[in-house]
Amino acid sequence: MRILLIHQYFLEKNGAGGTRFNEMTKVWHEEGHDITVLGGMFPGTGMKKSPQYKGKLFARVDHDGVEVIRCHVSESYNVNFLGRLWGYFSFVFSSIWAGLFKTKGKYDIILVTSPPLFLGITAYILSVFKRTPYVFEVRDLWPESAIDTGVVTNKWIIKFAYWFEKFTYNKAVKINVLTPAFRKALLEDKNVLASKIFFIPNAADFSMAEKLNENGFNPEEFRVKNNWGNNIVITYVGAHGVANHLIQIIDAAEVLQSQNKKVKFVLIGDGMKKKSLMNEVQKRNLSNVEFHDFMPKQEVFKFVMASDFGTSVLKKVDTFKTIYSNKTFDYMSCKKPILLAIDGVSRELVETAKCGLYIEPEDTAEWVRIVTKAIEIPINERNKMGQNGYDYAKLHFDRKKLALEYLEYLKQAIN
* Rounded CA separation 34/375 (Å): 49
Q: Assess contact for 199 and 180: CB atoms under 8 A.
A: yes
Q: What is the DSSP letter of 323?
A: -
Distance CA 199, CA 55 (A): 40
Ordered per-residue pLDDT tens for the chain, 415 residues: 999 999 998 988 766 556 789 889 999 999 999 999 999 987 655 456 777 888 889 999 998 899 999 999 887 766 666 777 777 889 999 999 999 999 988 999 999 999 888 899 999 999 999 999 999 999 988 878 777 777 677 788 888 888 999 999 999 999 999 998 999 999 998 999 999 999 999 888 888 899 999 999 999 999 999 999 999 999 999 989 888 999 999 999 999 999 999 999 999 998 889 999 999 999 999 999 999 998 888 899 999 999 999 999 999 988 899 989 889 999 999 999 999 999 999 999 999 999 999 999 999 999 999 999 999 999 999 999 999 999 999 999 988 899 999 999 999 999 7
Q: What pLDDT is attached to residue 387?
A: 98
Nearest to 107 by CA among 44, 33, 47, 158: 33
- Are the CB atoms for 406 and 178 separated by under 8 Å? no
Count of beta carbons in the 10 Å neighbourhood of residue 46: 21
Q: Which of 39, 157, 169, 178 is nearest to 98 (CA)?
A: 39
Query: According to the model, what pLDDT value does residue 42 have?
Result: 73
| Structural domains for the chain | 2-203+398-414 (3.40.50.2000), 207-396 (3.40.50.2000)
* Structure confidence at residue 81 (pLDDT): 65
**Strand (E) or helix (H) holding 374:** helix 364-375
SS3 83: helix
Nearest CA among 343, 341, 347, 345 for reference residue 362: 341
- How many CA atoms lie within 13 Å of 12's alpha carbon, on the beta-carbon side? 20
